[in-house]
Amino acid sequence: MTTVQISDKGIQFVSPYTDVEAAQTFRSMVETGRVDSEFAMSLYRGAKRNGAYTPRQIPWVHVIVAQAEGRPTRPVVQPIATNYIKVAEHLQKCRRSRDEGGKGLLNPMVGLLVGGQQVVLKLAGSKSRHQGKVSVASDHRYGYGEFYGWIERDGTFRPSKQTPEAVVNILDRLSADPVAAISEIGKESGRCCYCIAALSTVQSKIAGCGDTCARNYGVPYPNAAQTRQHILENPGVLEGASDRDRWV
């Protein structure tokens, strides 16, 4: 038996074969046509040419054999029962704003920074096999940072690994009223959670997002009278404000 782990791909399982046995099984599968993917054929030809597999290739030999035999190559993670249906609905609503003529992002996202923990929520597009689901990760770029899992269309969160407690706490915070929670987190972090731009005006600091994102994603944005009242009650909000903001 051999423990196989490819950390950056989330692969971890116990193979019933030694490295030599896995290589022999793999060769038999390729030569009998049971395995014929481009990647598998590349591995096979390389080993045949060089006389052996490299240490980096051996784990992939185990993976291909396991997949051909129908064995799981990733830890089985149970879904978290907490329901985040309102979070999923909010991202879907943000997407509809673009469909209905708004200027929001084609694939809307929400970037949340709480106590040093970054969580990015993105709605999978129509070309994705995860269409309609919300991805939960630490970075908005594919392949960067940590991927924590998917929020299904029904709100069920299916983690890809052991999800940090801080991530679950942020999702819990959003679960009851995503718009209000996103606004509060924007105020705390000093940046808009939709476009990640710094909150530079008094009104954006009050709303927790910029005026454009507020219009696109249905976030309440203060008018002049509400802004003046807020400043009277919270004069500290003018700290660092421009002369124009002070006049407004």
Identify whether residues 97 and 139 lie together within a single domain: yes
> Over the stretch 23-34, which tens digit does the pLDDT of each residue have?
999 999 999 999
pLDDT band at residue 42, thresholds of 50, 70 and 90? very high
The last residue of one of the domains, among 12, 47, 68, is: 68
29 located within any domain:
yes
Looking at the structure, do residues 95 and 157 belong to the same domain, yes or no? yes
Same domain assignment for residues 107 and 149? yes
Domain stops at, among 39, 68, 97: 68
How many separate domains does the chain show? 3
- Give the domain-ending residue among 120, 141, 176: 176
- 114 falls within a domain: yes
Task: Please check whether residues 50 and 12 belong to one and the same domain.
Answer: yes
117 domain residue, yes or no? yes
Residue 101 pLDDT:
66
- Summarize pLDDT for 130-182 with one digit per residue, the tens: 888 999 999 888 778 889 999 998 898 888 877 888 998 999 999 989 999 99
Indicate whether 186 belongs to any domain.
no
* Whether residues 49 and 105 fall in one domain: no
Residue 8 resides in a domain: yes
Can you say whether the dihedral through the CA atoms of 64, 70, 73, 79 is positive or negative?
positive
Task: Tell whether 38 and 122 lie within a shared domain.
Answer: no
**Residue whose tokens read 């329901």:** 83
pLDDT in tens, 68-112: 999 988 876 555 656 899 999 998 888 877 666 666 666 778 999
Span 189-248, pLDDT tens digits: 989 998 888 988 888 888 898 888 888 888 888 888 888 887 787 676 666 555 445 444
86 shares a domain with 31: no
Range of the domain at 157: 80-176
What pLDDT is attached to residue 186?
92
Q: Is 112 exposed, middle or buried, given 0-12, 13-18 or 19+ CB atoms closer than 10 A?
A: buried
Q: Which of 17, 22, 12 is nearest to 2 (CA)?
A: 17
Looking at residue 246, its pLDDT comes to 45
Residue 229 lies in a domain: yes
Shared domain check, 149 and 87: yes
Residues 228 and 154 in one domain: no
The answer on 171 and 197 residing in a single domain is no
pLDDT at 63: 94
* 57: in domain: yes
Q: Is there a domain that residue 185 lies in?
A: no
Asked if 239 contacts 218 with a C-beta cutoff of 8 angstroms, the reply is no
